[in-house]
Amino acid sequence: MDPHNLAEEQAADYQRYAIAGTPDEMAATLAAIAAPLAPPLQFQQAGWSTPQRDYARACRALTAELYPQLVEEIDAYADAAHVARDDMLWHYSLGVTGGCSAVAVRTRDGMVVGRNYDFFYFENRRHLLTTRPAGRYAHVGMHDGLAGGRFDGMNEHGLFVSFNGAGEHADPAPVGLTFHHVVRYLLERCRSMAEARAALLELPIKEAKSYLLVDAGDACVVEAHTSRRAVRELDDSGLLRVTNHYLHPAMQPLCPPWPNSEARFDALGALQPAQGAEETVAQLRALLAGHDAPLCGHQDGLATFWSAVAQPATGEISYCLGAPCRNPWLAAGPLR
């Protein structure tokens, strides 16, 4: 075991809590628990160019058109934390690229989905939130401090959503929703994989990602780039895998395979479809904790910060907060 990796994990800000109500009410709860993150150096006011600031404002304005409650919540969060609203602009800017591995598998009892989130140690906030927004769908998922965002999760209707990095962002990037707001949009507004897929094929995006969408009976991966998008369906194999390269023929030139991503993709192929859900959950947890590819990473940039396994048909979802090779699994659902 890498002692540096363990020390970084032990120093990380892992928390679990719930927010509920109107945007103002959820923001007040959040501000009392966790202050807004300090902006990275490139986003601190003195270092921002006018075009960068204008770009972030345009992305905020577009987000307000598409999802006004989200911007209301972020503004209220700034107010409750006594931070200028413009100091939150960087949360609408381009996100970072990263690792991650995810898989959906068809079992005799419906779909089962698993996911590891891997990134750099500087991302220290790792919060598991149960969110019950007024008038929208409740969900449970992970939040890293990027205001209003979720990195993965499942909602009250059994829709699971997660993202995977897919190479560098377009330059210049179009004005659009940032990836962590896309995940939350889908969780709070969509009941099924089909609804989420239709929404994701239309939403204005600005970053290259793959999104895994899973419900009780089906799954797909939307490979999304600013220049084009394509869908990979769950086929007769009963297994749908995603790491950090595109596989659809129309998308491969935009983010071709690279060794670590291919190794993790191949490792996920060890899952056996058509078993019972309980057997698959046990197999999946063991697979996500494996070091051969590695799926469970311990190096900066590909260090595993958390894992999730979910059964959309029952609404059951569990999270492992920290590397799954050495931490317990915690039940986080169902929300029904």
pLDDT at residue 167, as a whole number: 85
Which of 131-140, 170-179, 249-258, 301-310 is least confident? Answer: 170-179
Rounded mean pLDDT, 35-41? 85
With a cut of 80, say whether residue 283 has pLDDT above it.
yes
Mean pLDDT along residues 86-90: 93
- pLDDT exceeds 80 at position 231: yes
Instruction: Say if residue 1's pLDDT is above 70.
Output: no
* pLDDT of 45: 64
Beta strand pairing status for 13-21 and 125-133? parallel
Name the token pair of 304: 């595993």
What is the residue whose two structure tokens read 């999946």? 284
The residue among 4 and 139 whose pLDDT is bigger is: 139
Given this structure, which CATH class describes domain 101-331?
alpha beta
Q: How far apart are CA 177 and CA 62, in angstroms?
A: 7
Residue type at 104? A
How confident is the model at residue 268, as a pLDDT? 97
- pLDDT of 157 higher than 70: yes
Model confidence at 271, pLDDT cuts 50, 70, 90, reads: very high
Q: Which amino acid is present at 109?
A: D
User: What confidence score (pLDDT) does residue 38 get?
Assistant: 86
Phi–psi pair at 178, nearest 5 degrees: -80, 155
Mean pLDDT across the stretch 294-304? 95
Measured CA to CA, the distance from residue 66 to residue 45 in angstroms comes to 26
Averaged over 135-142, what is the pLDDT? Answer: 98
Q: What is the mean pLDDT of the chain?
A: 94
Please compute the mean of the pLDDT values over residues 196-206 and round it to a whole number.
98
CA 161 centroid distance within chain: 7
Average pLDDT for residues 138-157, to the nearest whole number?
97
Domain extents in the chain: 18-92, 101-331
Helices of type H across the chain = 3-11, 23-33, 50-66, 68-80, 179-189, 193-200, 259-268, 277-288
Residue 47 is predicted with a pLDDT of: 65
